Amino acid sequence: MADFSKQYCELHDMGFEGDFDILLEFELLENDYYIPLICEGFGFIAIGKFDNECMLAMPIEDASYGAVNWKKYSEIVK
């Protein structure tokens, strides 16, 4: 089953609250840690907290397995 974040559901009026809240998960993290969570809508595979900034792991296509680009929350959630 696909999982969608609360933020994706709100931006795209999906009709349900979402499976998890990106910002809540971010707040629970210690700095320099991440949690593997997939949002099928935005396409990220993890939420990280680096330098106290919310970062989302975006898979790199045509790269080795597990390669990601860490993008700022504000770059992805618009």
Q: What is the pLDDT along the chain (78 residues), one digit of tens a residue?
A: 679 999 999 999 988 999 999 999 999 999 999 999 999 999 999 999 999 999 999 999 876 777 999 999 999 998
Question: What is the C-alpha separation between 45 and 34, in angstroms, rounded?
Answer: 10
35 Cβ partners below 8 Å, 6+ apart? 25, 28, 29, 46, 47, 48
Report the Cα 75 to chain-centroid distance in Å: 11
- This prediction's pTM: 0.91
3-state SS class at 56: strand
Quick one: tokens of 64? 């080795």
Q: Is the dihedral of CA 63, 67, 72, 74 positive or negative?
A: positive
